[in-house]
Every structure is written in C-alpha cells, then in structure tokens.
Amino acid sequence: MILKSKTAVVTGSTSGIGLAIARALAAEGANVLINGFGKPEDIEKERAAIESEYGVKCIHSPADMTKPDEIAAMIALAESTFGSVDVLMNNAGIQFVSPIEEFPIEKWDQIIAINLSSAFHCMRAAIPGMKKRGWGRIISTASAHSLVASPFKSAYVAAKHGIAGLTKTAALELATHGVTVNCISPGYVWTPLVENQIPDTMKARGLTRDQVINDVLLDSQPTKQFVTVDEVAAIVVFLCGDAAKQITGANLSVDGGWTAE
C-alpha cells in the first residue's frame, strides 16, 4: 500500500469521480477526508463503508467550496485529525450550459469559485505542511475542456483552462520540495454531473436525449465510450506513487482520443 499512514483530502467526493478517487486512495492505505453535499444518511453510508472496507479512518467535511474560510478550516480539520495532508485532490465541480449573453452572472461566479478558486484555496492551505514534510501530491480534476472548448460552457471551459495553468505554476514553485502537482483531463465520464447537464443541452441545442448522448457527448470521443470513474481513480493512485515522482506540471488526458483530433 503506497499511502499507508498518509492522509488524503478529496473535494467533491460524496459521489461520482471524487468518491471513486477517495475509495481508491483508501485502498492504498490513506486516511481520507471526503467533502461534498448530499443526504446525510447517504454520506454517512459512504464514509462508514470506506472505513470498514479498507481499514482506514474517514471523516466528512461539509465545507462550501465557494467559501475560502470553510476551505481553510477543512484542511485544518484534516491536519488536526490525522496529523497531515499528504494528498490533495481538487475535484469539486459544477456545470451550467447557456449562451454567453444569457449566462446568469451568479452562475458564472459560482462555477469559477467551485471549479477553479477552490483549488487555489485548498492548495494555499495545504502547501505549507507539504513543504515542511518534504512530500506531497496535489492533483486536480481538469477536463478535456482544459484543452479545447465547447459552445455554451463559457464558465466551465474558462475554469478548467485555469486549473491547467494553476497546476503548471504550482508545479514550478514546488519542484524542489518533493511535491508534485498535476491535473487529469477526462473526457465525458458518466457521472451525475454529466447526466444532469443533458436536459440543459437538449434545450440549448434543440435535441433529444439520445441525440445529446450520441451526437454531442460521445461524438467528441473517438472510442465512442464514456470514461469510467475507476479509470480516473487509477491514474490518481499512479500519480501518488514513487514511479510518478518526476511527473509534475502535467495535464494527463483521459478522453478516448478527444483532444488528439
């Protein structure tokens, strides 16, 4: 187990990609702080399952990723509970689909806050401890939209491009401190985030549900398959290992060939 006695914080991890990553890190021996919203009973079920299945400790923080003070308190909670934050996984994200001229200002602000600024605030709080210990792994969930754009997703595309730039900058700053910083750019992963944007895309483009799935989502991916959450989680685990210690500042595409075109 490559993360025995280490601690991981995974934002946006009560479902979907984040939960799969939290479970994969726990399977490698890490104590885990999960974060996100949802029904309390559902969150408790997942938290308890991580502890029982992997023999680690797992706590939940409901920190709001739009609020810097709550983010700092979340990192402090992990440090005070477990003694360190060794792996930071910035995964929290939301989506909204609309033409720019109709894009609600509050939705723009919310997406930038959750998808981009929260990663900065998490890193700002976690980096001092990582530098002090001389070891750390910072990984962010970017997107194929960190490399290419799609119409009607201005805030999301802007935020994910920002994640790619933030990753490079932090990697350079931490290159001599034993801390690597990378981002992963999945194509379409079948998660609640993707499923929930289908009605908006249907409305924006005047398409049926099947047309959105086949002609919009999977049209971008030459493999014609959705990426799975476990495939993304496996890359996170690899980046935490010694074999990846010289991988830093990288943006790893996991998109079925989308950005190769």
**Residues belonging to the active site:** 156
164 touches 147 (CB < 8 A)? yes
Residue 182, φ and ψ in degrees, nearest 5: -140, 165
Q: What is the DSSP string of 86-134?
A: -EEEE---------GGG--HHHHHHHHIIIIIHHHHHHHHHHHHHHHHT
Determine whether 12 is exposed, middle or buried from the number of CB atoms within 10 Å of its CB (0-12, 13-18, 19+).
buried
166 touches 142 (CB < 8 A)? no
DSSP 3-state of 136:
strand
